[in-house]
Amino acid sequence: MENMYYIGLDVHKKTISYCVKDGSGRIYAEAEIPATRLDLDMWMKTLPQPWTAAMEATIFTAWIYDHLKPHAAAVKVAHPLMLRAIAAAKKKNDRIDAHKIADCLRCNFLPECYMASAEIRERRRTLRYRNLLVRQAVQMKNKIAVLLMEAGVSYNKQKLHKVGYFRELLTRTSMKG
């Protein structure tokens, strides 16, 4: 039976600290790599087989998770608050965090959190963007209405944002002035 290798990843915006341990807890490798797909690909070629990895859930976790998943026996994501409670320590840095995540994974103490599929995450991202656009459109409509009220221009609220009505209002008010 092959020995499993356990990898703890401490993920940041520009770098990833990692620690690779064998089943007995001996450190196989540890270092820091740039957080890019190319660097992850080169790093994965150096890993012993088979391996499983874990990382704390952050805003950067999803793309790393998707990139590593096809190459690993398993990739897991840890709940940040529960992980902090388990691995609380006075000394804290990226290297130590990667060690602790690897140990939690190796000893099956990793407080896993749900990782939605790539399709669902993409749909959520699209809906968040749509929500932003709708909010901004409503803000602009409200600002236009306020500007008209401040200028004392009477307008039909239902027609205000229909095609051509605003232009009609402008020509009507300019003829009066």
Q: Tens of pLDDT along the chain (177 residues)?
A: 468 999 999 999 999 999 999 988 899 999 999 999 999 999 999 999 999 999 988 888 889 999 999 999 999 999 887 777 655 666 677 788 888 899 889 988 888 888 888 899 899 999 999 999 999 988 988 888 888 888 787 777 777 777 777 777 777 766 665
CA–CA separation, 28 and 156 (whole Å): 72
The reply to whether the predicted model has a pTM over 0.85 is no
Domain 5-115 has CATH 3.30.420.40: yes
Place of tokens 């020995």: 3
CA–CA separation, 23 and 78 (whole Å): 19
The strands making up 5-11's β-sheet, listed across from edge to edge, are 27-34, 15-21, 5-11, 51-56, 74-78
Under 8 Å between Cβ of 32 and 15: yes
